[in-house]
Amino acid sequence: MASVIKRGSKFQYEVSYKKKDGSYGKIRKSGFINRNTALSHANKLEENIKKGYQPEASELFFSDYFKSWMELYKKPAVTDITYRKYVTMHHNITKYFKYVTLGELDREVYQKALNKFAKTHNVTTTKQFHKFMKSCLRYAFEDRVILKDPTFRAVVSGANVAKPADEKYLNLADFKRLIAETSKRLSIEYASHYAILIAALTGCRFSEVLGLTWENIDYNQKSLRVEKTWSYKLGGGFAPTKNKEKRTIDIDDTLIKLFKDYHILQKENNVLCDSIIYKDLSSNAVNKTLKSIQSTLDINNPITFHGLRHTHASVLLYNKIDLMIVSERLGHKNYSVTQDTYSHIIDELRTKQRPEVQSVLENLIL
């Protein structure tokens, strides 16, 4: 039962509640202008406690809650490489929400911290930071650890920071030249060139390319099955895909011929992109090869291997391939990931297609 007392010219309520361990705690809050207002807030708090609200949990630091959440819900469900991103996010939360408890984390506190982060990070990185925290706090809200979602309608901005090399993509002309030049350099002694072409023509991640084995290629169906990766960052060995989901990618005749020719030459190992001397390809080695090719072609803004994936997706989107098909091809967890990643392209296409929409509508009028 709540009690209300007057303290000076203001009123304070006190609510007793039973903790999970069986002991009792008290919540006091003052500053109300009259008794009825204080009692109204107290009654609402008691109602929320009956529905499962955990007052003692609100004293947890946000950083500690995030750490427990990612260890419980994310570590068993994602790959080791993906989990590293959550660890990085935890470091950022510790830095930008230092000593902020869940009870103190309202919309204003959250937005101020997000704005501070955005001053030194581009909008894509800030969006990812926001996305990870929003996912965590959604659990806190559903579990009644917090009563309001502080991420609701948060505004995400970003500094005018140059995009990292792996987020860049080539224009269509340079992409075609890159593919042509790489094709000329194919040799059984250098698996890097094959890896580059496979990524350019499929949009696969580097770990997915390294994880391909010959049974993943279906020549009759003209398809490639992505069902595992190679843990090049963790000492080698096959591992699940990023989202632990398998997917089938349609491939063209050019890639079919490349696979058939390469298969004849590469008989020593079932792994496609293993070199002839049985050494795993390193990310540095492949990026060095890719950089050399772009230098030969005088490409001013060179990309990294991951940029091949971005270029692949960009080419498809610019050629009006449906967003859902592109998303499935890339192996994104859901369509919103693709939409967020390539929002700049989608916005550009939307502007370009306005006259086409108007033309379609005008043709409907007899």
The reply to whether domains 62-142 and 166-350 share a CATH topology is no
**Domain ranges for the chain:** 3-53, 62-142, 166-350
Written as six digits, the tokens of 117 are: 């982060």
Written as six digits, the tokens of 227 are: 């069902």
Least confident of 5-9, 49-53, 143-147, 230-234: 49-53
Highest mean pLDDT among 71-85, 196-210, 278-292, 332-346: 196-210
What sign has the CA pseudo-torsion 101, 102, 108, 110?
positive
Record the pTM. 0.65
Looking at 3.30.470.20, 3.40.640.10, 1.10.150.130, 3.90.870.10, the CATH number of the domain 62-142 comes to 1.10.150.130
Written as six digits, the tokens of 84 are: 């590293």
* pLDDT tens digits for range 233-270: 777 788 888 878 899 999 999 899 988 888 887 766 67
User: How many angstroms separate the CA atoms of 223 and 215, rounded?
Assistant: 11
Q: Which residue is it, tokens 């009123």?
A: 11
Longest alpha-carbon distance in the chain: 90
User: How many angstroms separate the CA atoms of 170 and 314, rounded?
Assistant: 9
Written as six digits, the tokens of 116 are: 């501070």
Read off the amino acid at residue 26.
Answer: K
Length of the chain, in residues? 366
Q: Which fold has domain 166-350?
A: hpI Integrase; Chain A (1.10.443)
Written as six digits, the tokens of 207 are: 């770990």
DSSP state letter for 74: I
* pLDDT tens digits for range 55-73: 766 778 999 999 999 999 9
User: How many angstroms separate the CA atoms of 12 and 16, rounded?
Assistant: 14
Strands (E), the chain: 3-7, 10-18, 24-32, 217-218, 223-226, 229-230, 238-239, 247-250
Q: What angle do CA 268, 269, 271 make, to 5 degrees?
A: 150
**pLDDT greater than 70 at residue 25:** yes
Element (H, E) at 85: helix 80-96
The band of 144, judged by pLDDT with boundaries at 50, 70 and 90, is: confident
Q: What phi, psi does 345 have (nearest 5°)?
A: -75, -45
User: How many angstroms separate the CA atoms of 140 and 311, rounded?
Assistant: 38
Bridge partners (DSSP) listed for residue 101: 61
Read off the amino acid at residue 24.
Answer: Y
Q: Work out the average pLDDT over 343-358.
A: 81
